[in-house]
């Protein structure tokens, strides 16, 4: 390949990516502009919270439990070396509320609810359902996308809270019931060491940001997908890849902003 | 809402020297047609002749490159998005694949436009939806999910949804495709009776010559990017135009080639295939 062709293809790649970013931003703006439906027809949003939340609840709860088990075990092995196994409750709670709760929930959310949203929108597009809505004078962005977006954004912190809660219970089961750490020490260390604003609120903010990112990516990929089985399949894959990378990247940024002194 | 046309102006949809296309490709050019209140218009032509493109221009989904599309007396090129929404509330569209909402059951699919646009009491809504479902013979299928009904039934549900707001213009994209002979006959009569009873205009895109000639007031024959012929079913039936004759008789030989035309892209592809083998 000649140098000119290489430069041209690099230019094309950059232009495509920048255009894609612009389209994505415009899509986000379009969605926000049409979000008044969440006040005029709140039932549409509550249906989506129920739908998205229900679908993800089991996997979130089970994953939270096992992550809690592992945290309990690993935490105990490490803390035991320094004779501070009473701090296990604090370690489990901080790990879950600050990082693992929001991040793992968002990754699972991208895989479970995100793919479901992308496939649903993509298939609605392929089946001309969105076009049908448009010619019925019903704005599909307002009627279909906006309730799903806000449903995802609201469901995400609730799911993260469930994950953290079940994870802490898992840590308690392993630490207190199986290993025999004093239950009073487990809970009191947690109570005195976890700050509502610094730890829990920051975790909630993280999960809201992840909810916006993952739901937005899932809806965008469905909306932009080619209306063919292959197009929908590719869009679903892109949702998981882009959603997961966005969560991990944003987590680094948010952690740096929130927890740096 | 935009003002309704005066009784003397009974043109619902008018295309004047319109050309349409996607990307660089021009699909249709110099298209002129007029659809009036109470009329049933049949748009016929071979597959890929651009009939659905014409329908998309009438709904404002694509813009005319040249010429003018007037819907209820308003130019679609100049209309604001809000006014376009208002105009669309006065039309019903039956999509080629039905386009039913798969997350809703049969009843909710038909009720959808009413829930969005009409402020009806639950009793009135139930009565109106069941009435339309009865018109297509599916009153007792109201409770079924879309996945539980056949393709033909889905098209009849889509038809009920298209007419539930009792629009002034109904666009039907292949309404007879996939229907059994009984459903086909009933659907054709329903289209005619809607125009006669409600005075709405109907545009029917179809390949079905017998049924469309039986119900249409005027037939347009689309082919090779143009309107090749138009007239009443009787005049078209008696036409000596070789294009009309070939289409109506389904003859393999004539001005319309059956074989897809060759192109330099195909020649290059074939050369590559032969080189590999």
The dihedral formed by the CA atoms of B208, A129, B91 and B164, expressed in degrees to the nearest 10: 90
Q: Is B213 in the A-facing interface, judged by CB distances under 8 Å?
A: no
pLDDT tens across A8-65, in order? Answer: 999 999 999 999 999 999 999 999 999 999 999 999 999 999 988 888 899 999 999 9
Chain B residue with minimum CA distance to A132 = B99
Q: Does B243 touch chain A (CB under 8 A)?
A: no
CB-nearest to B99 from A131, A138, A139 is: A131
Across the A:B interface, residue pairs with CB atoms under 8 Å apart total 47
pLDDT of residue B2: 38
Nearest residue in B to A128, CA atom: B99
Q: CB distance B91–A134 less than 8 Å? A: no
pLDDT of residue A110: 94
8 Å CB contact between B190 and B214: no
The model's confidence at residue A197, banded by pLDDT at 50, 70 and 90, is: confident
CB contact under 8 A, B85 and A132: no
> Distance between CA B76 and CA B84 in Å, rounded?
7
Q: List beta partners, residue B15.
A: B33, B69
pLDDT of residue A154: 95
Is A196 near chain B, with CB under 8 Å? Answer: no
Average pLDDT for residues A205-216, to the nearest whole number?
96
Q: Name the residue in chain A with its Cα closest to that of B100.
A: A129
User: Measured between alpha carbons, how far is A91 from A71 in angstroms, rounded to an integer?
Assistant: 8
Which residues in chain A are contacts of B88 at CB distance < 8 A? 134-137
Determine the distance in angstroms separating the CA of A65 from the nearest CA of chain B, rounded to an integer: 33
Give Dmax (Cα) for chain A. 72
Reported as a single tens digit per residue, the pLDDT across A236-256 is: 999 999 999 999 999 999 999
CA A150 to chain centre: 13
CA–CA gap between residue A48 and residue A42 (Å, rounded): 10
- Residues of chain B in contact with residue A134, where contact means CB-CB under 8 angstroms, are 61, 88
Question: Hey, are the CB atoms on B88 and A143 less than 8 Å from each other?
Answer: no
Neighbours of A165 (CB within 10 A): 16
Would you call B191 exposed, middle or buried from its count of C-beta atoms within 10 A (0-12, 13-18, 19+)? buried
Read off the DSSP letter of residue A60. H
Rg, C-alpha atoms of chain B: 20
pLDDT, residue A1, reads 63
Would you tell me the crossing angle of helices B106-117 and B151-163 to the nearest 10 degrees? 20
Q: Which of A78-87, A214-223, B123-132, B235-244 has the lowest mean pLDDT?
A: B235-244
Q: How many CB atoms lie within 10 A of CB B268?
A: 10
State the DSSP code for B105: B
**What Rg do the C-alpha atoms of chain A give, in angstroms?**
22
3-state secondary structure of B1: coil
Determine contact: B266 vs chain A, CB below 8 A: no
Gap between the Cα atoms of B60 and B76, Å rounded:
6
Q: Do the Cβ atoms of A90 and A172 come closer than 8 Å?
A: no
Residue A165 has a pLDDT of 96
Distance from CA of B249 to the nearest CA of A (A): 33
Q: For residue A85, give the 3-state DSSP assignment.
A: helix
Within 8 A by CB and 6+ apart from A40, the residues are none
- CB-based contact, A43 to chain B, within 8 Å: no
Q: Which pairs with CB-CB distance under 8 Å and at least 24 residues apart come from B17-23?
A: B17/B66, B17/B67, B17/B68, B18/B57, B18/B64, B18/B66, B18/B67, B18/B68, B18/B69, B19/B64, B19/B65, B19/B66, B19/B67, B20/B50, B20/B53, B20/B54, B20/B57, B20/B62, B20/B64, B20/B65, B21/B53, B21/B65, B22/B53, B22/B62
- A127 in contact with B, Cβ within 8 Å: yes
- The span from the CA of B31 to the CA of B13, in Å, is 13
Q: Which of B2, B101, B160 is most worth mutating to test chain A (most A CB atoms within 10 A of its CB)? A: B101
Percent of chain A with pLDDT strictly greater than 70: 99
Side-chain half-sphere exposure of A108, counting CA atoms within 13 A: 27
CA distance B217 to B231: 8
Q: Which of B62, B82, B103 to mutate to test the interface with A (most CBs of A within 10 A)?
A: B103
Backbone angles phi, psi at B34, to 5 degrees: -135, 130
- CA terminus-to-terminus distance, chain B: 65
A134 touches chain B (CB under 8 A): yes
Q: Which of A238, A70, A48, A259 is nearest to A155 (CA)?
A: A48
A128–B99 C-beta distance less than 8 A: yes
Sequential pLDDT tens for chain B (277 residues): 334 334 446 888 999 999 988 887 888 888 898 999 889 999 988 777 788 888 889 998 888 888 899 998 889 888 888 899 889 989 999 988 888 998 899 999 999 999 988 888 999 999 999 999 998 888 999 999 999 998 888 888 998 999 898 899 999 988 888 778 888 888 888 888 888 888 889 999 988 888 888 889 999 988 888 888 888 988 888 888 888 888 888 777 777 777 777 888 999 999 999 988 7
Query: What is the structure's pLDDT at A91?
Result: 94
Residue B29 and residue B51 in contact, taking contact as beta carbons nearer than 8 Å: no
- For residue B169, the cross-strand partners are B91, B201
Nearest to B97 by CA among B201, B208, B173: B173
Sheet with B226-231, strands from edge to edge, namely: B91-94, B169-173, B201-206, B40-45, B218-223, B226-231
Report the phi/psi class of residue B45: left, alpha or beta, with left for phi > 0 and alpha for psi in -120 to 50. Answer: left
Is A127–B61 a contact, with Cβ atoms under 8 angstroms apart?
no
Residue B88 touches chain A, beta carbons under 8 Å: yes
Nearest to A135 among B88, B116, B117 (CB): B88
Query: CA dihedral defined by B100, B102, B105, B110, rounded to 10 degrees?
Result: -20
């Amino acid at each position: 390949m000649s140098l000119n062709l290489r430069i041209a293809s690099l230019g094309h790649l950059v232009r495509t990516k920048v255009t894609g970013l612009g389209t994505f931003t415009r899509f986000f703006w379009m969605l926000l502009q049409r979000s008044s439906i969440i006040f005029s027809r709140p039932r549409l949003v509550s249906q989506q919270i129920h739908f998205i939340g229900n679908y993800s609840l089991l996997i979130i709860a089970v994953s939270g439990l096992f992550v809690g088990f592992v945290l309990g075990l690993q935490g105990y092995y490490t803390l035991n070396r320094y004779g501070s196994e009473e701090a296990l409750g604090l370690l489990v709670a901080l790990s879950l509320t600050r990082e693992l709760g929001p991040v793992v929930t968002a990754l699972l959310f991208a895989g479970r609810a995100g793919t479901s949203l992308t496939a649903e929108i993509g298939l609605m597009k392929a089946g001309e359902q969105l076009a049908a809505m448009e010619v019925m004078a019903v704005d599909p962005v307002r009627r279909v996308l906006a309730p799903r977006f806000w449903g995802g954004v609201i469901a995400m912190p609730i799911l993260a809270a469930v994950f953290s809660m079940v994870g802490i219970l898992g840590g308690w089961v392993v630490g207190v019931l199986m290993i025999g750490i004093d239950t009073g020490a487990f809970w009191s260390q947690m109570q005195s060491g976890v700050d509502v604003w610094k730890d829990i609120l920051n975790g909630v903010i993280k999960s809201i940001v992840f909810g916006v990112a993952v739901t937005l990516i899932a809806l965008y990929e469905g909306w932009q997908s080619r209306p063919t089985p292959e197009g929908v399949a590719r869009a679903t894959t892109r949702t998981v890849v882009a959603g997961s990378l966005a969560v991990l990247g944003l987590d680094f940024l948010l952690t740096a902003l929130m927890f740096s002194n | 809402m935009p003002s309704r046309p005066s009784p003397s102006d009974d043109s619902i949809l008018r295309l004047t020297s319109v050309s349409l296309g996607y990307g660089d490709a021009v699909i249709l050019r110099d298209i002129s047609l007029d659809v009036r209140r109470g009329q049933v218009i049949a748009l016929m032509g071979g597959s890929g002749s651009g009939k659905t493109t014409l329908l998309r221009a009438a709904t404002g989904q694509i813009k005319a490159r040249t010429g003018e599309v007037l819907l209820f007396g308003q130019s679609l090129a100049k209309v604001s998005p809000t006014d376009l929404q208002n105009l669309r509330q006065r039309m019903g569209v039956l999509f080629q694949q039905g386009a039913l909402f798969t997350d809703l059951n049969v009843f909710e699919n038909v009720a959808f436009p009413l829930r969005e646009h009409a402020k009806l009491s639950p009793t009135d809504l139930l009565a109106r939806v069941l009435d339309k479902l009865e018109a297509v013979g599916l009153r007792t299928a109201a409770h079924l999910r879309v996945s539980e009904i056949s393709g033909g039934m889905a098209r009849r549900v889509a038809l009920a949804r298209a007419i539930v707001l009792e629009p002034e213009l109904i666009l039907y994209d292949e309404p007879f495709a996939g229907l059994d002979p009984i459903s086909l006959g009933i659907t054709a009569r329903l289209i005619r009776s809607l125009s006669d009873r409600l005075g709405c205009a109907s545009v029917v895109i179809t390949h079905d010559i017998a049924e469309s000639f039986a119900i249409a007031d005027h037939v347009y024959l689309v082919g090779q990017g143009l309107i090749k012929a138009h007239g009443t079913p009787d005049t078209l039936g008696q036409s000596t135009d070789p294009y009309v004759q070939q289409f109506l008789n389904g003859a393999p030989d004539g001005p319309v080639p059956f074989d897809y035309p060759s192109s330099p892209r195909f020649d290059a592809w074939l050369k590559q295939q032969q080189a590999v083998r």
